[in-house]
Amino acid sequence: MYRCVTYPLNGGSAGRFAGGAPDEASLANTGKPPVSAESIHRGTWREEPETVPTLNIFHSETSMKNPFNQSLALILTLLGGVILSGCQQPESNMSEKPFDATSEVESASYLIGFRQAQNIQAQGGDVIDMQAYELGARDAIAGKESQVPEENEEQLMAVLSEALMQEKSASGETFMEENAARPEVTTTASGLQYEVLVEGTGPMPSATDTVVTHYHGTLTDGTVFDSSVERGSPASFPVNRVIAGWTEALQMMGVGSKWRLVIPPELAYGERGAGGAIPPNATLVFEVELLEIQ
């Protein structure tokens, strides 16, 4: 039998994720005008459904429905959600055996471990101790008791989340400082940074207008969290119903413009983050093309 224990972190739910479209009923209950599903897109939309999509080890929106994968994604993106403190498997034979790359199941099993460790290294930076991680994984596979007392797990995970959050925040500040030093970048009074890639000659939208855009959104390390460009489908939404950084930038752009935006956390999702894709205190980078005003 497996034994898995979950704990709430930071005293609450994982929060509401600004990705995917809420259903019509939930929109109706807000008392706000209905908006098409296409106009609600991850990384910009301000209205958020009640549930948090899970992010699997391959950074897909289709979860493996495994609590470990959900917990790994949550801790690595610093969400105050539900984290997995430990899973124990039955005693197993830990003797080394050759890896059989011709076996599809064995190859897939290897890939799970490889991707998990790869993601931890990429997202954990210098915070997560990979040797300790490897030891914990080996103990769990061997069916051993955790070397960390169970009563300490929730507190230790909270410490890890805080350390990861501080590292993300510091890296975002450094990124913005370096970006601001580039002569082609303008920084507004709010802290928004923009670079004009293509100067449009069309009209500028107002806050109450609905616009059609193409966009490509990444974290400062280049991780893509949302992209209408990759989907091949522009997004339509009201200017005043997106994150503050977008609302400010769009009203300065003429139709036909393409800008690169660097948005500080306070103009994006701040300490809350957004689902499994945007961690708390994340600085966001967008390339935005304003196609039309509807």
Final residue of a structural domain among 164, 194, 218: 164
Local confidence band at 7 (pLDDT 50, 70, 90 cut-offs) = very low
From 57, 225, 263, 278, active-site residue? 225
Residue 255 sits in the same domain as residue 281? yes
- The pLDDT tens digits of the residues spanning 10-43 come to 333 223 233 333 333 333 334 443 333 333 334 4
Residue 149 sits in the same domain as residue 200? no
Residue 277 sits in the same domain as residue 242? yes
Does 42 map to a domain?
no
Q: What is the pTM of this model?
A: 0.56
What is the H or E stretch that residue 106 is in?
helix 104-124
Q: What is the β-pairing status of strands 224-227 and 258-263?
A: unpaired
Residue 152 sits in the same domain as residue 8? yes
**Is 226 an active-site residue?**
yes
CA 107, distance to chain mean position in Å, is: 28
Tokens of 114: 């490889």
Residue 133 sits in the same domain as residue 275? no
Does 270 map to a domain?
yes
Domain span holding position 76: 3-17+52-164
User: Which is more confidently placed, 87 or 251?
Assistant: 251
For residue 132, give Cα distances in angstroms to 40, 49, 52, 78, 163: 41, 37, 29, 19, 16
From 75, 83, 120, 243, active-site residue? 243
Instruction: Output the average pLDDT for the chain.
Output: 74
From 17, 57, 120, 226, active-site residue? 226
What is the H or E stretch that residue 258 is in?
strand 258-263
Residue 99 sits in the same domain as residue 202? no
**CATH at residue 288:** 3.10.50.40
Residue tagged 């522009």 (tokens): 234
How many domains are there within the chain? 2
Per-residue pLDDT, 262: 97
**Is 126 an active-site residue?**
no
**Is 57 an active-site residue?**
no
Does 22 map to a domain?
no
pLDDT surpasses 90 at 44: no
Final residue of a structural domain among 103, 129, 164: 164
Residue 188 sits in the same domain as residue 155? no
Cα separation of 169 and 175, whole Å? 10
Q: Indicate the SS3 state at residue 224.
A: strand
| CB 67 within 8 Å of CB 59 | no
Tokens of 167: 């590292």
Does 114 map to a domain?
yes
Does 28 map to a domain?
no
**Is 175 an active-site residue?**
no
Does 47 map to a domain?
no
From 40, 215, 237, 263, active-site residue? 215
Beta bridge partners of 4: 87
Local confidence band at 182 (pLDDT 50, 70, 90 cut-offs) = very high
| CB 20 within 8 Å of CB 42 | yes
**Is 100 an active-site residue?**
no
**Is 243 an active-site residue?**
yes
Does 24 map to a domain?
no
Residue 10 sits in the same domain as residue 119? yes
Residue 146 sits in the same domain as residue 202? no
Does 261 map to a domain?
yes
| CB 274 within 8 Å of CB 199 | no
Residue 187 sits in the same domain as residue 225? yes
Residue 288: name the closest of 226, 193, 230, 217 by CA: 217
| CB 80 within 8 Å of CB 16 | no
- The pLDDT tens digits of the residues spanning 90-137 come to 444 555 678 898 999 999 999 998 988 887 876 676 788 889 989 999
Residue 157 sits in the same domain as residue 200? no
Final residue of a structural domain among 105, 133, 164: 164
From 83, 120, 269, 278, active-site residue? 269
